[in-house]
A = this chain, B = another copy of it.
């Protein structure tokens, strides 16, 4: 049987209460007694019984979540899935979630969302700090109150000792795409990078992916050009955009879609898509369909659901298991093709 407080107390010749005061640093213990107890604790290798501790605590730890709503971009359902998954797994520890969604296009809604969590008196916060300035204010508020904050997807500008980051290495993802193009396209290789959709606050990620791709092909004779399509709805807009681009930069055989909008591209180029090797990001259902129909060769999954899972786990480790995780945690990248699709997403 494991060592308990009672064992420590007996061995040190004091009562449970005194041992308890030492363990929780609540003072009012004579220095030599404290010393003695600490010795016994390390000697016997006492480990707090989390089960009993959690039972007596009898208050639910509340984790606040501030994420973009997935109605606007299905990508954001994925981290939320991971959060719910981890939550379910550790629900027996009496934890609660308070979720506030915000609107991707609206900084004000982000502010409202995190302030909503302030009201809920959360014990920890998980946030996608897309809006850097507002994120700073959010970070300050919680850090001042010693409330740990985990940033998912995007890091904070200036992390502090209360903040964590769980995300993926976009630069490496770009390099990965590079090799996949290299292997699957007969030379000469010419790649068109596309950003589809409104200008967002995720430019940093796109830049890193581009940089990774370029660095992969460094020194090799590969044409890389970039195109930004801001008009989401217009299929013709996309087609003419590409046509104009070819006129200017010549033809290409690889298409690198820097965000989760691969399916938009596939919808527009349905007829001539065989001519290109298409690589995109994020395993949302629309992109899964693209793999199934061979409209995309590879989807690189940056494992957003694992990011969500890991964010929750980091908080539990910190607040319940007394285990400190790394301040920066990268989640592995997955290369997905049609055949590896089955159960490819995080369970």
Fill in one digit per residue for A179-202: 1 if any B CB lies within 8 Å of its CB, else 0. Answer: 110011010000000000000000
Q: Which residues of B contact A343 (CB under 8 A)?
A: 330-332
Contact of A338 among B169, B179, B321, B342 (CB under 8 A): B179
Do A179 and B339 have beta carbons less than 8 Å apart?
A: yes
Interface string of A305-347 (1 = CB under 8 A from B): 0000010000000000100000000111111111110111101
Within the complex, the shortest CB–CB distance from A4 to chain B, in Å, comes to 11
Oligomeric state, in copies:
2
Bound-complex Cα distance A334 to B321 (A): 30
Q: Would you call A26 an interface residue if the criterion is a C-beta within 8 Å of the partner chain's C-beta atoms?
A: no
Please, how many angstroms separate the alpha-carbon atoms of A347 and B95 in the complex? 24
Interface 9-mer from A17-25, A48-56, A243-251: A48-56
CA distance A87 to B207 in the complex (A): 40
The residues in A between 25 and 69 inclusive whose CB is less than 8 angstroms from any CB of B are: 49-52, 54-55
Q: Which of B92, B172, B338, B344 is close to A340, meaning CB atoms less than 8 Å apart?
A: B172
Q: Kindly identify, within residues 264 to 306 of chain A, every residue whose CB is under 8 Å from any CB belonging to chain B.
A: 277, 297
B335 near A340 with CB under 8 A, answer: yes
- Flag if A175 contacts B339 (CB, 8 Å): yes
- Which chain B residues lie closer than 8 Å to A342 at the CB level? 169, 172, 330, 332-333
A70 within 8 A of B: no
* Interface residue? A93 (CB, 8 A): yes
Q: List 17 A-B contacts (CB under 8 A).
A: A49-B92, A51-B54, A51-B92, A51-B93, A51-B94, A52-B55, A169-B342, A176-B337, A176-B339, A180-B337, A183-B184, A310-B347, A331-B343, A332-B340, A332-B342, A335-B336, A335-B337
The 6 tightest CB contacts between A and B, nearest first, are A50-B92, A183-B184, A176-B339, A335-B335, A175-B339, A176-B340
